[in-house]
A = this chain, B = another copy of it.
Amino acid sequence: MFSLASRSLRLSVAGCQASRCSLATVISGSKTSKLVRERLKNDVEKMRNQFSGFRPGLVVLQVRHDSNLYISSKLKAAAEIGIEAKHIRLPSSATQEEVLQSVMAVNQNPAVHGLIVQLPLDSAHKMDTDLITNTVSSDKDVDGLSCINAGKLSRGDLSDCFIPCTPNGCMELIRQTGVSVAGKHAVVIGRSKIVGAPMRDLLLWRHATVTTCHSKTQDLPEQVGRADILVVGAGRAEMVRGEWLKVGAVVIDCGINHLPDETKASGKRVVGDVHYASANQRAGFLTPVPGGVGPMTVAMLMENTVQSAQRFLLRSQSLR
On A, residues with C-beta under 8 Å from B are: 130, 146-157, 182-183, 185, 191, 193, 197, 201, 204, 207-214, 216-219, 223
Contact A209 B204 (CB under 8 A): no
Contact B209 A214 (CB under 8 A): yes
**Cα-based distance from A207 to B183 in the complex (angstroms):** 25
**Cα-based distance from A201 to B223 in the complex (angstroms):** 19
**A152: nearest chain-B partner, CB-CB:** B147
Contacts of A185 in B (CB 8 A): 219
Q: Name A211's contact: one of B130, B156, B210 (CB within 8 Å).
A: B210
Contact A218 B183 (CB under 8 A): yes
Min CB distance, A157 to chain B, in Å?
7
Contact A223 B209 (CB under 8 A): yes
Contact A151 B147 (CB under 8 A): yes
Contact A209 B218 (CB under 8 A): yes
**Cα-based distance from A191 to B156 in the complex (angstroms):** 9
**Cα-based distance from A151 to B151 in the complex (angstroms):** 3
**Cα-based distance from A209 to B212 in the complex (angstroms):** 6
Q: Name A212's contact: one of B157, B182, B210, B217 (CB within 8 Å).
A: B210
Contacts of A147 in B (CB 8 A): 147-148, 151-152, 155, 157
**Cα-based distance from A211 to B212 in the complex (angstroms):** 6
**A181: nearest chain-B partner, CB-CB:** B216
Q: Name A209's contact: one of B152, B154, B216 (CB within 8 Å).
A: B216
Q: Name A191's contact: one of B149, B157, B204, B217 (CB within 8 Å).
A: B204
**Cα-based distance from A183 to B151 in the complex (angstroms):** 25
Given the known interface contacts A148-B151, A150-B154, the answer about A213 and B209 at a Cβ–Cβ threshold of 8 Å is yes
Min CB distance, A194 to chain B, in Å?
10
Min CB distance, A184 to chain B, in Å?
8
17 new A-B contacts, CB < 8 A, other than A147-B157, A148-B151, A183-B218, are A147-B148, A147-B155, A148-B148, A150-B155, A151-B151, A153-B154, A154-B197, A155-B193, A156-B197, A183-B216, A183-B217, A208-B216, A209-B213, A209-B219, A209-B223, A210-B212, A211-B212
Min CB distance, A265 to chain B, in Å?
40
Min CB distance, A306 to chain B, in Å?
23
Min CB distance, A42 to chain B, in Å?
33
Contacts of A197 in B (CB 8 A): 154-156
Given the known interface contacts A183-B216, A209-B216, A218-B183, the answer about A154 and B154 at a Cβ–Cβ threshold of 8 Å is yes
Min CB distance, A81 to chain B, in Å?
29
**Cα-based distance from A197 to B185 in the complex (angstroms):** 17
